[in-house]
Structure 1
Amino acid sequence: MTSMFKKGWKPIAVLILLLFIWELAVKLADLPKWLLPAPSSIWEEAVKGFEQFLPHMQSTIVLATVGFVIGCSVGLVVAIALHLLPGVREAIYPLLILSQNVPIIVLAPLLVIWFGFGLLPKMIVITLVCFFPVTIAALGGFRNTPSEMKHYMLMAGASKIQLFSKLEWPNALPALFSGLKISATYSVMGAVISEWLGAKNGIGVYMTLASSSFRTERVFVAIIAVMILSLLFFCLITAGERQFVKWGRKEER
């Protein structure tokens, strides 16, 4: 705990300084709340409207969690298939790169036209956001397996499946968790974007209603909530990494 505090006090100090400058600048310039609220006004709105905001946050958490699990599962399956089937990788990999060049904001209205306002288009949006980092990270981990270890296992008579399960999969875990961390933060953003497709609850809905009524302090509350949720998701994946990749941390020491 002490070491964490020693490492973390500098960004906390910078954050406090930025908030102080922000508060002072708003007060001195006498800016209206609808243009730029002061941090104190945002905090006041967060405390006062917490009960109203809580159902929206819970809805986004559920949506982001389910979408994250589905997206990462799809990404991992795709990575394993592309790794074990080189011919398929040569045909599909360029299409994966192209899929990330389609703006989600542009794709979202099309998904509503094709699949309606239900849960499916929302899951598609989050899956598209989450699967790519996992796929790329896992593929990189599989490819970075030491070649001498591969030769040793092949000389010992290991099959392709044994080579994958006993060597390539464990070796790819650190890289895989790096991809999961990225997807964890993206999942909250993807959930908020998907809620713009016509959800009844969620941080995206709360943000849209607040911006349309010029309640800028509520927009900032929603933004801060998204940042906090993304950080929490990241920390959970980091905690899981410490449990499953203990050997990697020992080597670092």
Structure 2
Amino acid sequence: MPLSQRTQSALAPDGRRWTISCACESLQEEWFWHARLTSKSFAISVAIGHRDYAAGAVEAGGYQVRERLTYRSHPLILAVSPEGEGYLVTWESRHHSLVFGGPGAPPRLADVILLLDQLRMQDSADGLRLRPSAGSDVVMWGLFGVKFSDAGMVTMYPRNEATGLVPDQPGLAVAAGQLWRKTISSPTGEPGQSKFILAGDNTVAVVDDDLGRDRTVTRSGQETLLATLAVRWS
């Protein structure tokens, strides 16, 4: 498949509009978002994806459904891993789904519902927006987006929330900003992975360096992606 310039745009959960543009063979249409939701009494990680994302996550991980109920006219499910060492709580809306997950014992669905009750959720084909209700003590933070291309996974952050990723020394000047190659250490102590960091005016994009590890990634495709990649939000 020939390389072509692709541009996609979507509404992030915080209401900002994100746009990605690059030349590549394929760019997955779905957008994936990750964030933390925190209140005075409860905190949990959340992922937002397309409507089938929740069911796919449960099936792919072999999770076993422990509890199922209806919340705001849509299914809310609690599932645990086969070994009981992790959990998923999923909620499927009309266009998108929420996936809460992590290691350890699962939370009570009552606590998840209490958190969701404090959010105004607006779901459309353009995105699922999450806004704390008036008087709520819920805060959404640490938001980032993920897109998948044939030349590597692209993770996108607001620049003012990702300053630790940007090296102090000047990078290679490219059309959309400055580019670096950096080894990011694993929090578990495992060997770090090489990544490319692209810093623009208000965004930072991290591209996984999968050359030699993923047979679909070619050197020419990777170079073209890095030379043409542009991410912005408004």
Sort the TM-score into its range (normalised by shorter chain). under 0.3
Name the larger-Rg structure: 1
Bigger proportion of residues as strand? 2
Q: Give the TM-score normalised by structure 2.
A: 0.24
Bigger proportion of residues as helix? 1
Q: Give the TM-score normalised by structure 1.
A: 0.23
Q: Bigger relative contact order, structure 1 or 2, given CA contacts below 8 A and separation 6+?
A: 1
